[in-house]
Amino acid sequence: MSLSLSDIGKAVLETEYAVRGPIVARAQELERSGKRIVYCNIGNPQALGQKPLSWVRRILALSEFPALAQLAPGAFPADAVEEAHRLIEGSKHGLGAYSESKGVRFIREAVAQFIRERDGIDADPDSIYLTDGASKGVQAALRMLISGPQDGIMVPIPQYPLYSATITLYEGKQVNYYLDEHNGWKLSRQMLEESIAEAKRFGVRVKGLVVINPGNPTGSVLDADNIAMIVDFAREHGLTILADEVYQENVYRQGERFVSFAKVMHDKGETDVSLFSFHSTSKGFLGECGHRGGYFEIRNIPADVSAQLLKLQSVSLCASLPGQVTVYCMVRPPKPGSPSHDEYARERDGILGELKKRARLVADGLNSIPGVACNEVAGAMYAFPRIELPAGKTDSEWCMALLEAEGICVVPGSGFGQIPGTAHFRTTILPPTDQLADVVDKIARFHASYR
């Protein structure tokens, strides 16, 4: 055949993406042959039974088929009808037309307003780009930063494999910095300095720094002081920050709250460090993964660079309009006192309350297993426990064996990165609370037999 494996470039061949790797392929195979599989490999809440918010789906249905407001007057509270009407008017041509390359301006204005209210700082709709999920935004930012094989991007270890995969595909250098497992996966100035010093010794031109907050897969949450330290580090080394903030609504530990990089940079008066910050409709309490809604905001980016970014985005024309509408629903919830508010608040609090319970249940459950140690899940949707393995066994083998024995699909630590000689796995905390205890029991049973 005219196309053969020898035609495929090194960058493509070397790209790895563990979250959908061989273990997931095997799980699908087992499922087709009739085995029941619990998919804990990916943060896909609605695949594990989470219900969509009624507010979001009502607005989407009305935007798809505006005549419904008349055809089915009883099906929609007045505020949903009004909001959908405003949105369709604001989009100019509805959901069937390509929007501007950055996304519908009316929706970008709503995102800017959301950032203003969240952080008490100004935000510019022209600095906001609506994207098909956060992934596409991350790829756009990395495309801007990586211009040659010596360009390096610092990523936390463990990290979300979108970063390693994209850096490999764009033929840049991944520069690892380790998070401190024994200190709740915190990151320290010293680790950042060691990492960049070593990269420079190897001739790497370090250009960007990825921070995932709340952490995936670690579940840790950064405070304002941490973030200020990172911003100082970036400024001193001339780095651009990629702040992956898709789990900003998923903070469970008492007394902690999400703080954005944009706010810390504003409060410090930082005007040198370039920032891309990412958000998504797939996580939080919406869990609308299939709608692929997302946005990124840029700060301290020169106009000639943002012109290049806009040009690149325009090659793909625009993000999906239903995804853009989902972003609008995320940043414009029903107001207190409006007809939809109570239902919305009830659904939101129900989901977040369950996730909080599950975060504790998973960490406590895993910690009760001999040979497993798990940090508290303070945020996000995952636990990343350390496991003791028999000599010569890898965490990939352990995960595959767990799948075969118990039908539980998790991802080996090697897919996220870990200190050599250690072994981990990542599991989501998403299965329904009543099933989750069973998942933990099965892992316990399996691990006992495996050791």
Q: Output 322 or 407, the one with its CB closest to a copy of itself.
A: 322
The nearest distance, CB 354 to a copy of itself, in angstroms, is: 16
CB nearer to a copy of itself: give 128 or 273.
273
Least distance (Å) from a copy of itself to the CB of residue 421? 28
Between 149 and 390, name the residue whose CB sits nearer to a copy of itself.
Answer: 149
**C-alpha angle 49-52-53 in degrees, rounded to nearest 5:** 140
Q: Which is nearer to a copy of itself, 26 or 360 (by Cβ)?
A: 26
C-beta of 253 vs 299, nearer to a copy of itself: 299
Determine how many CB atoms are found less than 10 A away from the CB of residue 117: 11
State the minimum distance, in angstroms, from the CB of residue 156 to a copy of itself.
18
User: Which is closer to a copy of itself, CB of 146 or CB of 372?
Assistant: 146
State the nearest-atom distance from the C-beta of 101 to a copy of itself, in Å.
Answer: 6
Residue 425, strand partner residues: 412
Closer to a copy of itself at the Cβ: 58 or 253?
58
- Let me know if 158 is exposed, middle or buried by CB neighbors in 10 A (0-12, 13-18, 19+): buried
Q: Which of 243, 257, 290, 228 is nearest to 57 (CA)?
A: 290
Q: Are 169 and 17 within 8 A, CB to CB?
A: no
User: Are the C-beta atoms of 66 and 94 separated by less than 8 Å?
Assistant: yes
Query: Would you say 125 or 365 has its CB closer to a copy of itself?
Result: 125
Distance CA 125, CA 331 (A): 13
> Which amino acid is located at 37 in the chain?
I
Nearest distance from residue 239's CB to a copy of itself, in Å?
6
Residues 294, 313: Cα–Cα separation, whole Å: 14
We find the least distance from the C-beta atom of residue 59 to a copy of itself, in angstroms, to be: 9
CB of 169 to a copy of itself, least distance (A): 7
Indicate the residue among 101 and 218 with the shorter CB distance to a copy of itself: 101
Tokens representing residue 418 in the block: 């870990």
CB of 188 to a copy of itself, least distance (A): 21
Q: Sheet with 382-383: list strands edge to edge.
A: 382-383, 425-428, 411-412
Residue 235 or 442 having the CB closest to a copy of itself: 235
